[in-house]
Each structure stands twice: as structure tokens, then as C-alpha cells.
Amino acid sequence: MKKKDREERLAAITRRSNLPYGVECGDGWIPIVVALDVQIALIDPNYVVHQVKEKFGGLRYYIATSESLSDEDRTRIRDLVSYAEAICWTICEDCGREGTLRKHGWWKTMCDECYVELTAPDKEYLTKLVASSDPDRDAKAKERRDISQG
């Protein structure tokens, strides 16, 4: 997502907040964050966003609701936030496809493709490690080339 597109989609949230770092999560979650804002604003148009971020692989959406709000509406909003945060555990934070929580030193919810991409340097290292532990590898590779060339 281009920076300008992202800013436009988050304009409503930005207006109701004073976020020092903006919305701190990947593009994959932006549609969920935007939908959540719309739903909360229907109940409490003057609610304030304190922080939106990724933490331990999940979404955190911190807000303050209006004083005048009924307990029932407060509960509805809390349920909406919980639901959006729960959905994010199943959505790739980077691209928005189906994802799961990955633990790799860091924790992040990602799809297979984004996970492989992100961990590619490690994969390269592993490939080299395997290669260096097999002294016959070059010979085998040559053999395979010979076979494939008929």
C-alpha cells in the first residue's frame, strides 16, 4: 500500500486521535482497523483513539469513549474492539491474507508467503549449512545436470 493511500484510508482515525507515531501496524490490518473505527463511531461519534498498534503479534486498539455513553453502549464498543483484535490473529499483518501467529524470536501474525519472505535470509543460511555438511553435493549436482541434459 502506498503511503498516501494508507494515510487516506486512516484519515478518520487520525482526525480523532493524537497518535505520535500514527497507526502502528502493517497494511494487512488496515481494512479491519478502518471498519472497527466506522462501527465504533456509529455508537460514539466523539470517541478518541489513544493508540493503535501491533503487540506480540496481535492488534491493540486503545480508545476513550464519551462520558455520556450508556453502559450498554460501552459494552458494545468493548465487544467490537475484542472482535477486531481476535480477527487479527487470523489475518496476515503484512498483506491481509489468511495468517497465523509465527514465533521467530519476534511474534507476528503472517501468511505462509510473507513468513517465508521475511525469514529468507535464515533459509539461505540453512541451505548453505546443509550444503557445507555434504561434501558430495557438487558431484551430485553435476550428476543431476548431466541427467537433465539427457
What residue ranges bind Zn ion (CB under 5 A)?
92, 94-95, 97, 111, 114
Toward Zn ion, which CB reaches closer, 5 or 134? Answer: 5
Instruction: Evaluate whether 102 touches 57 at the Cβ level (below 8 Å).
Output: yes
To the nearest whole angstrom, how small is the minimum distance from the Cβ of residue 101 to Zn ion? 13
To the nearest whole angstrom, how small is the minimum distance from the Cβ of residue 16 to Zn ion? 28
Toward Zn ion, which CB reaches closer, 88 or 111? Answer: 111
Toward Zn ion, which CB reaches closer, 116 or 131? Answer: 116
To the nearest whole angstrom, how small is the minimum distance from the Cβ of residue 91 to Zn ion? 9
Toward Zn ion, which CB reaches closer, 63 or 92? Answer: 92
Instruction: Evaluate whether 60 touches 54 at the Cβ level (below 8 Å).
Output: yes
C-alpha distances out from residue 124 to 1, 18, 121, 138, Å: 28, 42, 5, 17
Q: How far is CA 146 from the centre of its chain?
A: 45
To the nearest whole angstrom, how small is the minimum distance from the Cβ of residue 89 to Zn ion? 14
Toward Zn ion, which CB reaches closer, 1 or 139? Answer: 1
* All cell numbers assigned to 32: 479491519
Of 18, 52, 55, 57, the closest CA to residue 35 belongs to 52
To the nearest whole angstrom, how small is the minimum distance from the Cβ of residue 88 to Zn ion? 13
Helical axes 30-43 vs 71-88, angle rounded to 10°? 170
